[in-house]
Amino acid sequence: MAVPPPENVPPAAPPVDPVWPPRLVQKPGVFGGVEAYGGLLAAGGADTREAYAILGGQLRVRVDYYEFGGWYDVSDRGKQQQDGFSSFGGFLGAWRPYSDWVDFEIAASVGARNYTSDDTRYGDNGYEHSSATLGLRLGVSDRTSSFSALAARIGGQLLFSYDLSSDDKPWVVESDNDGVPSTESGVTNVGGFTLGLALVLGFDYGKAITPSPVASEAPK
């Protein structure tokens, strides 16, 4: 005699992704985002300031494991040398999104930077110097939701940029010491490299991320 199946048997629980180790998202999808960033840059290879504060924005498109976009930023103005810069450009790279963890990215950049100063030691109009730049952008970030199409993103970036050209800007300072006029002169080398850290805040929109498969379904 056949035994009837039991009643009210709860369905089997779906498999759950393991929390550790983090698993690479298998189908990242397509996303477009807008982000604002701000931070500090250390400068070298020039006679200008040794550090700058920056504020900027960037547009970013992520397709599968690749990304591209563009940025624009400006620095603060120095009190003594009254100098600063603005820069813009584009980048191309790759990103690695992990389920229930952070995302990593690396991109090479090409752009331009324009240095200016209002210091009258360099003449009535100060000075201006423009240079093409090459750079590298490394980032780590986290999306507030792995499933909704629109979500906020917060992270940080390591920014490196190298000026392909530099220039010596002559300066002259005339003074009067107890009725004796004197003149000092020299040059300031403008253009070098910057390296710094920035906090990134923004939003992105696109196809919702598919969580990585469970261990038994992961590709070997």
Under DSSP, the state recorded for 217 is: G
Q: Would you list the domain boundaries of the chain?
A: 23-210
Could you tell me the pTM of the whole model? Answer: 0.81
Q: How far apart are CA 62 and CA 84, in angstroms?
A: 32
Q: State both tokens at 133.
A: 């730049």
- Reported as a single tens digit per residue, the pLDDT across 198-215 is 999 999 998 865 554 443
- Reported as a single tens digit per residue, the pLDDT across 94-127 is 999 988 889 999 999 999 999 999 988 888 889 9
Q: How far apart are CA 31 and CA 205, in angstroms?
A: 5
Q: Provide the CATH topology of domain 23-210.
A: Porin (2.40.160)
Dihedral through CA 67, CA 103, CA 139, CA 59, nearest 10? 40
